[in-house]
Structure 1
Amino acid sequence: MDKFEKIKLGISIGDFNGIGIEIILKAFSDKRMLDFCTPIIFGSTKLITNYKKNLNINIPFNGIKQVDRAINGKVNILNLWKEDIDLELGEPTELSGKLAFESLEAATNELTKGTIDVLVTAPINKDNIQSEDFKFPGHTEYLESKLDGETLMILMADTLRIGLITGHIPIAKVSETITPELIKKKVEILYKTLVQDFAISKPKIAILGLNPHCGDHGVIGKEDDAVIRPTINEIQNEGKLVYGPYAADSFFGSSNYKNFDAILAMYHDQGLAPFKTLSFGEGVNYTAGLSKIRTSPDHGTAYELAGKGLANINSFKEAIFTAIKVFKTREEYKSLTENTLKSNQRKEKL
């Protein structure tokens, strides 16, 4: 990409009866946002117009039928359907789930083709989006099925980054799912993303324990001593700065998390509960490990706020800025590694 060329930012609308479209419109009501990217919203001008009228937001946009018709300095809307859509704000419906998937699918296809550079997803309802074409627990698993790579869900705010060893699975299955192979794979993904996406040359990673007090030497569970600790030792022997397991109940309250570039939690709520306590409304969900870049805000559809003009846009704006920054950092990393490879090849020929 030319350094003067603006990043093409694809946006899926999520469930239109939630706050997704509201936070998109509010974010780009600030015209300065257009200095950083060229936004392309995957939806329809009719739907967006209805939402604008409901919220009394006056923001001009450019309707397009193809991504390559997007105009810099404009909010572009790629028209996916022509029908008039009745809003039922605050109520998840079959139609809002159907169109949420159509928006996501179209955006993902363009991301795969490289016609957009990054994807920011507005919140979906994981129930009403389910269909023959979407049988996934969430965005993360769907994107992993469509893009190259294996995913790691990372919640981040400033220097706080929390990744998940297991994601959207029932708590009853967490213990049996955690294996040395899975831990090593997630560490490898996290390590690579810290280097190539965040420019941290020698990342320092903490791993939380599974059981209370890391099992108290087997009194409250054997997984920490039998599986997690030996695996961490093996990873350390490879030269990576990986430490743990740490008891999750005191790790964040003691501010120990500030000593690390990233943390790996064993399961969803173990990582997200402290993260949202520390950073709710300011955080970003980043899908690491894929060939393309996707971010989202750290909240859901918030039906209770839909149509009231009360939705906070900070997390969504941070998701936009994070996607742009990660894209640029990854491009710089690719350039540096390619130049290093070429330099080494020239030396070998001499």
Structure 2
Amino acid sequence: MEPKQKPRIGITIGDVAGIGPEVILKTFADNRVLHFCTPVVYGTAAALNKYRKLLALENFSFHTIQAFDQLHFKKLNVLNVQEEEIDFTPGVPTPATGAIARTALLRAAQDLKDGHIQAIVTAPIDKDNTQGEGFQFPGHTEFFTTFFNAPESLMFLVSSSGLRVATVTGHLPLKDVANTLTPELLIRKLTILDNSLRKDFGIQKPKIAVLGLNPHAGENGLLGTEEAELILPVIEQLKNKGNLVFGPFPADGYFGTRSYQKFDATLALYHDQGLIPFKTLAFENGVNFTAGLPIVRTSPDHGTAYDIAGQNKADETSFREALFAAVDILRSRAGV
């Protein structure tokens, strides 16, 4: 009988030519992790076996299933998403490895929608190599937002140290950022962030910092007017409604002086403005969480790292943290 307190967590294998299989195996090589969840890897047993041998994990075993009535609650479960085996080389992505990543993602998302699993942790994909029928998106965030019919979502990077950074715009060319920012967009993203901090992280009165767009947050209009004309009015509007929102802060000084430690979360305006400092400060234990969705999806904050795939060099900490974050967010949403 399945332990009621253990959620079923779906894990998409990502591009099997990357480090996804390695960080998955290293995480579950410590069987204490199985006390917290019942994991189901969407991928292929053949790919995991290949990495199990490369990593010399001879004593590690997993349980292959075809249906959920075959789940093993004290082992890593693997659901084969395709019958035919492929020959691949770690570090060398091919259309076939991209197809496995895409198929695993689509199958897991559908199983989440159907209630067979309670959350998804996604191993890294090569966004270009994964494109195909059913997946024509810049990344996981956009895919899950569309698949679950959410009006909006938020890329939210979190760490066990308490550092939390969200971004207004995600996978968008830098030249398009300024024209994309509107008061309405800022309000929507800040609302999602505030709601997530309350619902997903149990913070009753979140304190949020907003970064400026321009160098020195515009320097009183000398280096740009978005701060005075766009960002500050939104902050004042939300403050008048009782929200604890502050800024706009110059991004370099804000992170350089560790001002982020005074806030529950930081809202960056574009991808690199938030992710560069986040990964500098919390790369090993960072987690990418898609806030604003009706479901829970997390991932490690790193990519496929083809250059070290299959060499027993990948650090599983971020993946393990992503797994624990999914469990914690599920508990927080359930009020446990």
TM-score by length of 1: 0.92
Structure 1 segments, 4+ long, off by >6 Å, are none
1:115 aligns with 2:119: no
Query: Which segment is superposed worse, 177-186 or 124-133?
Result: 124-133
Q: CA deviation at 1:260?
A: 0.3
Partner of 2:87: 86
1:177 aligns with 2:217: no
1:254 aligns with 2:257: yes
Structure 1 CA distance, aligned partners of 2:265 and 2:48?
38
Q: CA deviation at 1:128?
A: 0.6
After superposition, residues 219-230 of structure 1 pair within 5 angstroms as 219-230=222-233
| Contact kept in structure 1, 2:155 and 2:291, CA below 8 Å | yes
| Contact kept in structure 2, 1:8 and 1:40, CA below 8 Å | yes
Q: CA deviation at 1:75?
A: 0.8
Supply the AA of the counterpart residue of 2:70: R
DSSP 3-state at the match of 1:252: helix
Structure 1 residue ranges without an equivalent (≥5): 334-350
Instruction: State percent identity of aligned pairs.
Output: 48
| Contact kept in structure 2, 1:20 and 1:301, CA below 8 Å | yes
Supply the AA of the counterpart residue of 1:28: F
Structure 2 residue ranges without an equivalent (≥5): none
Residues 196-228 of structure 1, C-alpha deviations (whole Å, 9 max, x = no match)? 111100000000000011111221111111111
1:218 aligns with 2:217: no
Q: CA deviation at 1:67?
A: 2.7
| Contact kept in structure 2, 1:40 and 1:75, CA below 8 Å | yes
Partner of 1:155: 157
1:311 aligns with 2:314: yes
Residues 282-323 of structure 1, C-alpha deviations (whole Å, 9 max, x = no match)? 110011110000110010000011010110000000001110
Supply the AA of the counterpart residue of 2:146: S
DSSP 3-state at the match of 2:335: helix
1:42 aligns with 2:45: no
Supply the AA of the counterpart residue of 2:106: E
- 2:243 pairs with one of 222, 240, 245: 240
After superposition, residues 261-280 of structure 1 pair within 5 angstroms as 261-280=264-283
Residues 146-178 of structure 1, C-alpha deviations (whole Å, 9 max, x = no match)? 114321011111211000011000000000011
| Contact kept in structure 1, 2:12 and 2:108, CA below 8 Å | yes
After superposition, residues 1-350 of structure 1 pair within 5 angstroms as 4-58=4-58, 59-149=60-150, 150-158=152-160, 159-332=162-335
| Contact kept in structure 2, 1:10 and 1:118, CA below 8 Å | yes
| Contact kept in structure 2, 1:17 and 1:92, CA below 8 Å | yes
| Contact kept in structure 1, 2:82 and 2:100, CA below 8 Å | no
Structure 1 CA distance, aligned partners of 2:149 and 2:3?
25
DSSP 3-state at the match of 2:153: strand
Query: Which segment is superposed worse, 69-78 or 21-30?
Result: 69-78
DSSP 3-state at the match of 2:256: coil
Q: How many residues align?
A: 332
Supply the AA of the counterpart residue of 1:57: L
Q: Which has more radius of gyration?
A: 1
Structure 1 CA distance, aligned partners of 2:309 and 2:45?
19
User: Considering only aligned residues, what root-mean-square deviation do their CA atoms show, in Å?
Assistant: 1.3
Supply the AA of the counterpart residue of 1:18: G
Structure 1 CA distance, aligned partners of 2:270 and 2:81?
37
| Contact kept in structure 1, 2:81 and 2:100, CA below 8 Å | no
Structure 1 CA distance, aligned partners of 2:23 and 2:126?
16
